[in-house]
Amino acid sequence: MFGIFRTMLAINVVLLHIFNIPTIGNYSVSLFFILSGFLMSLIMHKTYGYNLNGFKVFWINRGLRLYPIYFVIIILTIITITYFPYIVRHPAIFLPKTFLEWSSNFTMLYPNIVPHRFEPRIVPPSWALTNELFFYVLISLGISKSFKRTLIWFIISVLYFVFTYKFYDLATFRYSAIPAASLPFSIGALLFWLSQKNKVKLKPNYYLVFGSLILFYLNSIYGKNLGDVSIYLNMLIGAFIVFELYKIKNSKFFKVDKYIGFYSYPIYLSHFVVCILFLEFSDVGNTVKSFKLNLESMPFYLLILFIINFLLVHIIDINLDRVKSNLKKKKL
């Protein structure tokens, strides 16, 4: 039952990028990584397996999940900034000039250990997909194939963070750098093994889920008083939320949860281009000389965001989901 949770995290990123509500989006990205580490380890063990055929089907399905909707959004963004070149927008949004820039943008593989430093990024949040893809490769090759491997991975990830404090104390290298994503991914993978070792006790506690979500938001808003402790508290809270949500097997809500989950990825990718369109056709809540919006524009912006993503989900995502399901049935 992760669909609603994923879409909630995507909306948190929108609140940071578009409405300048601090921290909540950054912390949500870390939770995305924890969830990915958990889910990718889970499906490699339970669905695909560690053989050549499983590896191949895994990557076909990952490609179908990540790229078609991304291509639509990047092309829409290119058209938008071509026709409305004077609209103030995210500074990374401009047209590439070299083959490397074009290929990096269309593959979401940015050649920088800190992917968000690479420019241009026509779809700015796509930097996180470089990190995701890197660890998808490692997981599909077996880095979390056993508990022992996963534990070693986690320890190395912790040591990396210790290293940054000792020798290279920059927050960027503990957030958006590729090796920084290793810690939340490894936490997610450890959660998978924890869930397998405690099957008898897997009974959901809804009060704990809601309480943990509230704690997540409180930590995001007030955690700056704790310094970097807030970062690791966020990961701990996120791990607990993921573990508790995994316990929920209520079939009554499964279809609703899955449907809402379809909106997570397109919302995450499209919110900047929607903002450009909003700024072109509306004066509500515009911040002078900024691509940020005031809170008064939130209902109107979110309505447009929902309409565009409704079309993306129903034209692309739902149909591709059927293709992926059929592929798994035929090939596995």
Q: How many CB atoms lie within 10 A of CB 252?
A: 7
Find residue 293's DSSP bridge partners.
Answer: 286
Residue 258 has pLDDT above 80, yes or no: yes
Return d(Cα 295, Cα 29) in angstroms, integer. Answer: 22
Higher-confidence residue: 131 or 297? 131
Residue from 247, 257, 253 nearest 204 by CA: 247
Percent helix, strand and coil across the chain, each to the nearest 5: 75, 0, 25
Q: How confident is the model over 251-255, as a mean pLDDT?
A: 82
pLDDT recorded at residue 202 = 64
Only one residue has tokens 């900034």, namely 81
Please state whether the predicted TM-score (pTM) of the whole model is above 0.85: yes
Averaged pLDDT score across all residues of the chain: 92
pLDDT per position as a tens digit, 132-189? 999 999 999 999 999 999 999 999 999 999 999 988 878 888 999 999 999 999 999 9
pLDDT per position as a tens digit, 223-244? 888 889 999 999 999 999 999 9
Q: How confident is the model over 111-116, as a mean pLDDT?
A: 96
pLDDT band at 289 (very low <50, low <70, confident <90, very high): low
Return d(Cα 19, Cα 296) in angstroms, integer. Answer: 10
Residue 248 has pLDDT above 90, yes or no: no
pLDDT band at 9 (very low <50, low <70, confident <90, very high): very high
Contact status, residue 189 vs residue 153, Cβ threshold 8 Å: yes
